[in-house]
């Protein structure tokens, strides 16, 4: 078992998958439970998660994401969808425009780490045609797809990515 920091270090975006190795049900449940354990404004969890394993639907998602082919190669996609009105009921515009999106993205980030802890990999896909994705997954009105996570067992070891220097990012106030 990796400790938390190793898990974080081992998370890399993977864009090539072993299509013939499905994601086990128990692992998928553990990943989704971890996502749903993330903090959310007012504990409202203003999101829904759509699981897509059907090959035709994954192919259609890949096309809706400007032909990013690894989406159909990955055996499973999780689509994290914000539910703005759920947050707006309590928090008005701030809930609708900010908290619902934050809730959704934090949950997706937790899922990415759980995927690594479960021995798999994922890539966060944000570059897609929103209305086409809604159509493919028959998303109920009022929900908005924010992120697609393509996930599965990796077929490649990705190149390490770089990060900005901490002193460019962090301001230490006296």
* Residue numbers at the binding site for ligand FMN (CB under 6 A): 12-13, 15, 68, 123-127, 158, 161
Of residues 11 and 42, the one with the C-beta less far from ligand FMN: 11
Of residues 25 and 78, the one with the C-beta less far from ligand FMN: 78
Of residues 9 and 90, the one with the C-beta less far from ligand FMN: 9
83 contacts 50 by C-beta, under 8 angstroms: no
Cβ-closest position to ligand FMN = 126
Q: How far is the CB of 88 from ligand FMN (least distance, A)?
A: 22
Q: Can you tell me the distance from the alpha carbon of 55 to that of 62, in angstroms, rounded to the nearest whole number?
A: 10
Of residues 15 and 96, the one with the C-beta less far from ligand FMN: 15
Q: Can you tell me the distance from the alpha carbon of 147 to that of 167, in angstroms, rounded to the nearest whole number?
A: 29
Q: How far is the CB of 70 from ligand FMN (least distance, A)?
A: 7
Q: Can you tell me the distance from the alpha carbon of 127 to that of 150, in angstroms, rounded to the nearest whole number?
A: 13
Q: How far is the CB of 108 from ligand FMN (least distance, A)?
A: 9
Q: How far is the CB of 51 from ligand FMN (least distance, A)?
A: 19
Alpha helices, H only, 100-165: 100-117, 130-136
Q: Can you tell me the distance from the alpha carbon of 174 to that of 161, in angstroms, rounded to the nearest whole number?
A: 32
79 contacts 53 by C-beta, under 8 angstroms: no
Q: How far is the CB of 48 from ligand FMN (least distance, A)?
A: 18
Of residues 161 and 171, the one with the C-beta less far from ligand FMN: 161
Alpha carbon 127 to its chain centroid, in Å, reads 13
87 contacts 106 by C-beta, under 8 angstroms: no
């Amino acid at each position: 078992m990796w400790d938390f920091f190793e898990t974080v270090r081992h998370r890399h975006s993977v864009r090539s998958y072993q299509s013939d190795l499905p994601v086990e049900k128990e692992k998928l449940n553990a990943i989704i439970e971890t996502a749903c354990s993330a903090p959310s404004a007012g504990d409202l969890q203003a999101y829904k998660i759509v699981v897509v394993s059907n090959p035709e639907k994954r192919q259609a998602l890949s096309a809706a994401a400007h032909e990013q082919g690894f989406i159909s190669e990955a055996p499973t996609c999780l689509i994290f969808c914000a539910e703005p009105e759920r947050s707006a009921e309590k928090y008005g515009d701030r809930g609708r425009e900010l908290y619902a999106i934050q809730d959704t993205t934090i949950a997706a980030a937790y899922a990415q780490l759980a995927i690594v802890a479960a021995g798999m990999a994922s890539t966060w896909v944000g570059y897609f045609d929103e209305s086409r994705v809604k159509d493919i997954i028959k998303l109920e009105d009022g929900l908005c797809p924010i992120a697609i996570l393509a996930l599965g067992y990796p077929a490649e070891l990705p190149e390490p990515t770089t990060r900005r220097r901490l002193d460019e990012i962090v301001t230490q106030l006296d």
